[in-house]
Amino acid sequence: MKGADAASTARHVPQRKRAQPKRRLASKPQPDGESQPVVNTQFRILHQIICTSNFHMAKGKIFTNPPTWASDTTTEIYDARAHLSSTYPVYNIPEYIKRSGDISFIVFRYYRCSDATRWDHARTGDPSNVRYDEAIGIVSQPLQETVDRLSLCVSDPGSYYPKPANPAGPNQNQNDKEFDQDEYTMDYFYHHRHALDDAVDQADGALQSQIAALRMYVSTQYGRTFDEVDGLAAQGKVKSQDIHLLFCPNEIVVTNQSGVPAAHVLRAWPTKGNIIGLECWNWAYDGHYLRRKECQLAINRPIQPMVDIRDLEVYPLRFATVDEVSYLESRGRKFWSLRYQSFVAYDGWDLKAENYYVGAQPPFTLRVSS
């Protein structure tokens, strides 16, 4: 389950000569992606447009500058078929990393042209008003090893960067992403931010600076949201839009159908949308052996802006009551003790007292089914 699927290999696309901009990412001249001012020497921000239209064929999809909506140049009216576009494209990410100096990580911001039709998405010329998702890719090997060591689960496997439907299609080999490292989203950092704090204290030298830069970026971007989620969770509540942040792969989640709690292990990060999908597994008996059984759980995103966590169809074990935890542990121990076939004998009447049974002798066995 390690990391995201690698995107297809990028090919350098020639472009027309232009005047050299004044600001550069490094001391060496750079043919593309050089307009972004250096705010922090530890990382860079790249902006990627997700779209399958031929509109981007010659314009590129990855840029150092945030995109804006392309408008009708004759009327200055934003077209219903508007596409995002930007300046200073990056055609080769490995080369871009080399020219950027000794950076530790890259922030990828993902934009979708399909958002042009969203009723809640303002299509203005201001880049700050353009909606995007975000993930962080680690460049530094020591920093990657640190993140691997503190991780409770895998990173989010490329949820924002879909596989191409047609690998040989017209949009391949032109400014598509060539970065095969894991990427880490806000969901990941919500569950690992305290471990990141500890890692800063335990490291020294250049590695400490790299971890500190990553922690600072995460805190600056998401700190307020994380604090708000923590504050509400302490009261047993969560905003409907933040439900996905409650869940982390490899932790135990609880369903409570008909008042009977059942435990499952979450396998992957929740899917997002009106229905929050949870890919899980639990132990089940197949008639011969105890095996892991995959199951799909779901949460219907409430229409209320805020809800009680325990009112959700599924919630993490840490929000279960003491009685629920005790019940699940007791039942789990009994179920686990029956994972192997064993001889069981019974002398006595059946439930309706109609038949009397005399204990069988080996090799007969009783198989217990779930």
Whether 196 and 264 share a structural domain: no
Residue 3, pLDDT score: 40
Query: Per mean pLDDT, which range of 127-141, 287-301, 314-328 is the poorest?
Result: 127-141
Higher pLDDT, 37 or 28: 37
Note down the domain range covering 304. 239-332
Higher pLDDT, 112 or 165: 112
Higher pLDDT, 285 or 365: 285
Decide if 199 is inside a domain.
Answer: yes
Whether 142 and 205 share a structural domain: yes
Which whole number is the average pLDDT over 85-105?
89
The rounded mean pLDDT for the chain is 78
Q: What CA–CA distance (Å, rounded) separates 71 from 62?
A: 19
Q: What CA–CA distance (Å, rounded) separates 318 from 321?
A: 8
Decide if 22 is inside a domain.
Answer: no
Whether 184 and 245 share a structural domain: no
- 33-36: long-range contacts at Cβ-Cβ below 8 A with a sequence spacing of 24 or more? 33/63, 33/64, 33/88, 33/89, 33/90, 33/96, 34/64, 34/88, 35/64, 35/65, 35/87, 35/88, 36/64, 36/65, 36/88
Whether 244 and 200 share a structural domain: no
Decide if 52 is inside a domain.
Answer: yes
Whether 141 and 276 share a structural domain: no
Whether 60 and 136 share a structural domain: yes
Residue 212, pLDDT score: 95
Q: What CA–CA distance (Å, rounded) separates 44 from 92?
A: 14
Whether 84 and 177 share a structural domain: yes
Whether 182 and 150 share a structural domain: yes
Whether 165 and 286 share a structural domain: no
Q: Of 233, 267, 295, which residue is a domain's last?
A: 233
Whether 294 and 187 share a structural domain: no
**pLDDT grade for 257, boundaries at 50, 70 and 90:** confident
Which whole number is the average pLDDT over 132-153?
93
Q: How many domains in the chain?
A: 2
Higher pLDDT, 64 or 83: 64
Whether 251 and 315 share a structural domain: yes
The pTM of this model reads 0.74
Decide if 126 is inside a domain.
Answer: yes
Query: Per mean pLDDT, which range of 83-87, 158-162, 255-259, 266-270 is the poorest?
Result: 158-162
Which whole number is the average pLDDT over 6-22?
40
Residue 82, pLDDT score: 72
Higher pLDDT, 59 or 268: 268
